[in-house]
Amino acid sequence: MFAEGIPFYVPLLKENNFLMDLKSIPEEVCKKAKILWLNYPNSPTGAVAPLSYLKEAVEFGKRHNIIVASDEAYSEIYFNEPPHSILEVAKEGVIVFNSLSKRSAMTCYRIGWVAGDKKIVDVFKKVKTNIDSGTPTFIQDGAIAALSDETHVGEMRADYKLKRDLLVAAFKKINLPDCTPEATIYLWQKVPQGMSSVEFAKKLLSPDIAIVTTPGGWISDKTESGINPGEGYVRFALVPGIEDTKKAAKRIEEQLSKII
């Protein structure tokens, strides 16, 4: 986008398990496109891409000569089986982005990595070294320490799962649709029928509930089809501690049910 490319937005819809429908992309768009941007495990939907889908994406990229860029920042925040990386399918024509921001909650350290096709990584290196002056060595040392330890990652996964389950159970109790995410730090909750994302988010802000969420309609754009796929959803970030999440779940069960 910095190079003035024109994005073609494809909606992520529940009926497709929030997987981008590659077949819906028009042929003339495929001819002009340079990069397909994927993000699985997906923020905000919490969806995970099966290996078969990642194979399809690599095939799609090859067929149309499009680079497949895969943002895998949530690869280690999962609740069932570890998600697949697109690098299990291919390196050629593929670049993967990952980061210490989620796996080790080191967001403010600004450190991550790319991997994939050497030709693409070489270009990326040229751009990156001319945008900033590199990552300070003490931060690199911190990253090495974080990558050398899996215990804290497992503990964080367990905490996120516990918080996810607390909220999922609360929504179930008040008869909202089950939106259990498979991964990530988000819960992409469908709002009650007849209510907009903003209306639901406002109800959650009422003083005796006081839960801050992000209305889905605000974090996605209208796609070519005229659909804003975020409308009708609200994003809960599972970032407060377990005790606060328990309080939030209780308020959802006891207070929210009275006003929706």
The footprint of ligand PLP (CB under 6 A) covers 39, 43, 71, 73, 99, 101, 107, 112
The minimum distance between CB 193 and ligand PLP, in angstroms, equals 28
The minimum distance between CB 112 and ligand PLP, in angstroms, equals 4
Cα–Cα nearest to 189, from 178, 199, 205, 198: 178
| Torsional sign, CA 112, 118, 120, 123 | positive
The H or E element spanning position 190 is: strand 186-190
Residue 167 corresponds to which tokens in the numbers above? 């909220």
Nearest residue (beta carbon) to ligand PLP: 99
Q: What is the spatial distance between Cα 11 and Cα 226, in angstroms, rounded to a whole number?
A: 10
Helix axes 242-251, 151-173, angle to 10 degrees: 10
Residue number with CB closer to ligand PLP (70 or 255): 70
The minimum distance between CB 39 and ligand PLP, in angstroms, equals 5
Residue number with CB closer to ligand PLP (43 or 228): 43
The full DSSP string for 125-178 is HHHHHHHS----HHHHHHHHHHHT--HHHHHHHHHHHHHHHHHHHHHHHTTPPP
The minimum distance between CB 72 and ligand PLP, in angstroms, equals 8
The minimum distance between CB 67 and ligand PLP, in angstroms, equals 17
Residue number with CB closer to ligand PLP (189 or 255): 189
Residue number with CB closer to ligand PLP (114 or 209): 114
Residue number with CB closer to ligand PLP (30 or 115): 115
